[in-house]
Amino acid sequence: MATSRTVKQAAIPADAEAPAEEATQDKVRVIKKYPNRRLYDTASSSYVTLAEVKALVMSAEPFVVRDAKTNEDLTRSILLQIILEEEAGGSPIFTEQVLSSIIRYYGHTWQGFFGANLESSIHAFGEMQKKMMEMTPGLNPETWQKMIQMPGQKMVQDMMANYTEQSKHMMQQMQEQLQHQYQANMQQWLAAFQPPKR
């Protein structure tokens, strides 16, 4: 599949619809999903597989998946399919315990906080990875993987320790904010139900 074309990120209007034979004018790669579950890449004018869509994700190329008939945004659904295949492929990221914990947060009071904290943690981890790659620009991913797996790698251990400390700090800040918010809400609640002074 041709993926070498440079695509600049731009917003796609919710009601925009590009013809199947050409890419959208907004410069975001549009992939159409048809009722037979086939995916059609409007940039390359060809059908693509889920693995090829994953390649777009890996190359950080912006794209959107839309239903060919209704123009509904199906990007999240396709990304979840990619994650499902990767998790079932023998080298999963999430353990059963982690997956169970994530499921239990759906519909929970803390769902919003959990999602925000998870996103912040992933962003912080990505920044740490970026710094490590910038420190050693000549190393390819395979060499990095070997280095990380080698015992006694103090640099990697220090970076991971720093990331863990940042995650703890973010969690502590969130707990403090929640505590202050709870105290403020409780004072308002008590004031509302306190009988007026005579």
Mean pLDDT in the chain?
A: 77
**Domain presence at residue 10:** no
Given this model, what pLDDT does residue 155 score? 58
Name the more confident of 181 and 121: 121
Residues 129 and 176 in one domain: yes
Name the more confident of 67 and 139: 67
Given this model, what pLDDT does residue 38 score? 95
Give the tens place of pLDDT for each residue, 28-84.
999 999 999 999 999 999 999 999 999 999 999 999 999 999 999 999 999 999 999
Domain that holds residue 80: 29-87
Q: Which range (41-50, 107-116, 129-138, 141-150) has the least confidence?
A: 141-150
Residues 130 and 183 in one domain: yes
Give the tens place of pLDDT for each residue, 172-198.
776 677 677 767 777 777 777 766 666
Residues 134 and 184 in one domain: yes
- The mean pLDDT of 90-112, rounded to a whole number, is 90
Residues 136 and 81 in one domain: no
Q: Is the pLDDT of residue 15 over 60?
A: no
Confidence band, pLDDT 50/70/90 cuts, at residue 122: confident
Domain tally, the chain: 2
**Domain presence at residue 37:** yes
**Could you give the C-alpha distances from 145 to 121, 140, 142, in angstroms and in order?**
21, 9, 5
Name the more confident of 7 and 28: 28
**Domain presence at residue 11:** no
Q: Which range (19-28, 95-104, 109-118, 180-189) has the least confidence?
A: 19-28
Which of 140, 131, 136, 178 is closest to 159 using CA atoms?
Answer: 131
Q: Is the pLDDT of residue 22 over 50?
A: no
- The pLDDT > 70 percentage for the chain reads 67
**Domain presence at residue 130:** yes
**Domain presence at residue 18:** no
Please provide the distance, in angstroms rounded to a whole number, between the alpha carbons at the two ends of the chain.
80
Given this model, what pLDDT does residue 20 score? 39
In angstroms, the CA 78 to CA 49 distance is 11
**Domain presence at residue 19:** no
**Domain presence at residue 194:** no
- The mean pLDDT of 154-179, rounded to a whole number, is 66
Does residue 62 contact residue 6 with C-beta atoms inside 8 Å? no
Q: What is the pTM of this model?
A: 0.60
Residues 81 and 128 in one domain: no
- The mean pLDDT of 7-14, rounded to a whole number, is 39
**Could you give the C-alpha distances from 12 to 27, 74, 180, in angstroms and in order?**
9, 14, 39
**Domain presence at residue 3:** no
